[in-house]
Amino acid sequence: MTRILIIGYGNPLRGDDGIGWHAANVLRKELTSETIRVLSVQQLAPELAEEVSAADYTIFIDADSGPLPKQITITNLKPDPLLQKPFHHHMTPELLLSYAESIYGRVSQGILFSVTGNSFEFNEQLSKPFQVTLKQLLDRIRSLIHTLNSESSAKQLHTETPPSVLAIRQ
């Protein structure tokens, strides 16, 4: 079975910066599978490396700033090959993947869902336009999880021992 870790991060007290936090909270209530773990954190930290190493896929959800508010960008991530220092103040998803690989010898496939924010003012709520974007973001994440689980099921069917071989071995 595919193990999926979802990490929504950002500051939930800074308006749209909290979209990762809000998305993770919604997904945590919906996704009750034993193979999916959902975390809401204010920032990424080295302590998450162990959980990242135990997952097949790690989905990161974060806000971004930029000229096109509400734009959802999906990026496949690789570990940061320039991991030089044992600790960085600003932890990126790529650096966290590197920590998982260097400390635990295993790294998951990283996928970043980044959404360009509209308002980063002190506020516990997402801006009105961003609330619609949150729904679109959640739909895309749900679709990805469905695809990952479907691919895992298909692989499992192809790698299982055929029933006729089991009958011969018995």
Instruction: Tell how strand 57-64 and strand 4-9 pair up.
Output: parallel
- Decide if 82 contacts 119 (C-beta within 8 A): no
Cα separation, 61 vs 134, in Å, equals 11
The token pair at 118 is: 């509209």
> pLDDT grade, residue 53 (50/70/90)?
very high
Spell out the residues 6+ positions from residue 130 whose beta carbon is closer than 8 angstroms to its own.
15, 16, 19, 69, 70, 115, 117, 118, 119
Give the pLDDT band of residue 167 (cuts 50, 70, 90). very low
CATH number, domain containing residue 110: 3.40.50.1450
Q: How many Cβ atoms from other residues are within 10 Å of residue 72's Cβ?
A: 15
pTM of this prediction exceeds 0.85: no
Count of structural domains within the chain: 1
Residue pLDDT, tens place only, 69-111: 778 999 999 887 766 555 555 789 999 999 999 899 998 999 9
Q: Tell whether the model's pLDDT for residue 32 goes beyond 90.
A: no
DSSP 8-state symbol, 86: S
Span 108-164, pLDDT tens digits? 999 999 988 777 778 788 778 778 888 999 999 999 999 998 876 655 544 444 433
Show the domain range for 159: 4-169
Compute and round to an integer the Cα radius of gyration of the chain. 18
Quote the pLDDT of residue 80: 77
pLDDT higher than threshold 50 for residue 18 = yes
Contacts of 57 (CB under 8 A, 6+ apart): 2, 3, 4, 5, 108, 109, 110, 111, 148
